[in-house]
Amino acid sequence: MSFFDYSMQDNAIRIIREGANRTIPVPAFLSHEIQKRKSSPEYKWMLIGEDYYAGRHDVLRKTRQAIGSDGNPVQLNNLPNSKHVDNVYKRMVKQKTNYLVGKPFTVNADDKKYQDLLMKFFDKVFFAKMKNITRDALNCGIAWLYVHYDETGNLVFDRFRPYECIPEWEDIDHTRLNSLIRFYDVVSYNGISDEKITLVEYYTKEGIDYFEYFNGSLVGMPPFHEDYMQIGGVTANWDGLPLIPFKYDEELPLIANCKSLQDGLNSILSVFDDNMHEDSRNTILILVNYDGENLGEFRQNLATYGAVKVRSSEGGNGDLRSLQVEVNSENYKAIIDIFKRAIIENCMGYDVKNEKMSGTPNQMNIESMYNDIDIDASDMETEFQQSLDRLLYFIDLHLANTGQGDYSNVDVDITFNTDMPMDEANTITNMRNSDGLISQRTLVAHHPWVMDPEDEIEQLKKEKQEALEEYGGAFSSNKDEEDE
């Protein structure tokens, strides 16, 4: 063996030893990742999104302050301190959610049996879950759907809270998931009182590992490890993590686009209400030749008491004068309107009070008003289509494993039925004019009153058949009478 061969072997051994020494135990690694996550901007924005949707805004921590005698701010407790929340942000989230998934999406497959099997999974429970998933994606930038088997062996889908999940991606574009850490709190009764316990689940391609925090350290807990499924009494794992992300706008929460504007709106409303309740402050009393005061006392007394004590340089008799302060409600109204419009525009929503919708709007006016939300919904639909394709992958595996058929090569088209208002009369007229130019199936699918195109087509066939039988019977009866 040459010197070169020896040096290569020694170098390989050194690398292996260094790698072993650097290997971090799984509990320590998970604990480190959780602490890093909790201090990250992404995690904080997720919590802010959830808080603002629930109405827990920064204005609720508002205090009344003034400059004290020492020049520093002091809190004033004897003044009105209104804290109003006009939650335009929540309206934007609900608006965008219902626009995209307010109506069930349409599933069309080349194989009718496969389509019927899919609709058993895409039932009312699933569509309700999709609305929650969409809200999570808007509030937190990303949502998670977990595919697994329940105790009875049924394939089910669970929603994970985004702020409980730490994804480990294999690529910079976040398209391939390597593993996921889930941490969440539960309340347990220890025989004396309730106590909060933090549980941790580690999802990898080899299954799920379970941990909990005990005395500040992360330790394993029963059942310690589980595979994702059981086939014929044998445990097995999916070919890939059964965790599906639903993303919004590069995983950036919607609240990041409008938090400062929402805070400004809440502040203006609260300050306006303060001024309306503070009637004595609308008139500032000026006491002449009673006392002098320094600038700090002046500012504090003006804010606290609504009165100012001054001394004339020439002396003389005392006097009491007033300085009237007018609160112009129109100014507040204009600023409030500006903030509301700005929130709607930055959230890419629509204003239901838009002047374009006054009178009898045509389809062009409707499409113009809904342009922003339609663009944003199209981006979300592109992301959600990828996620649903991933979901179909697991459904196909389940159908194949349970002997219901191999549909992995069957094409499926999922169409989101966005909830844009339309000029129904104009749409129906255009459909009548298109009769004979395009298929009846296409016309029925785009009719504004049709919810289920396949069911509607079957109903039309049934009615035509009944009409034929009725008329056929009538003609047969007339012929019998003639024969007689």
pTM summary value: 0.79
Contacts of 304 (CB under 8 A, 6+ apart): 66, 76, 78, 79
What b/e sequence results for 353-363 when a residue is b if at least 16 CB atoms lie within 10 Å of its CB, and e otherwise? eeebeeeebee
Determine the pLDDT at residue 309.
Answer: 63
Q: What share of the chain is helix, strand, coil (3-state, %, to 5)?
A: 50, 20, 30
How far, CA to CA in Å, does 267 sit from each of 17, 54, 260, 264, 342? 60, 18, 10, 5, 15
Quote the Cα angle for 16-22-27, to 5°: 125
Beta strand ranges found along 27-99 (DSSP E): 65-67, 73-75
CA distance 107 to 95: 23
pLDDT of 140 reads 98
pLDDT of residue 4: 41
d(CA 308, CA 305): 8
Please give the distance of CA 9 from its chain centroid, rounded to a whole number.
Answer: 54
> How would you class 68 by CB atoms within 10 Å of its CB: exposed for 0-12, middle for 13-18, buried for 19 or more?
middle
- Do residues 404 and 130 lie in contact, with contact meaning Cβ atoms separated by under 8 Å? no
Residues 18-33 pLDDT 10s: 444 456 789 999 999 9
Between CA 141 and CA 248 the distance in angstroms is 5
Structure confidence at residue 223 (pLDDT): 93
Q: What is the pLDDT of residue 482?
A: 55
Q: Are 221 and 185 in contact (CB under 8 A)?
A: no
pLDDT of residue 147: 97
CB neighbours of 49 closer than 8 A, spacing ≥ 6? 138, 139, 140, 141, 253, 254, 255
Report H helices in 122-258.
124-140
Please enumerate in sequence order all residues whose Cβ is within 8 A of that of 372, keeping only pairs 6 or more positions apart, or say none.
Answer: 345, 348, 349, 350
| Residues lower than pLDDT 70 in the chain | 1-23, 232, 278-327, 354-363, 420-427, 451, 472-484
Do residues 241 and 144 make contact, with C-beta atoms less than 8 angstroms apart? no
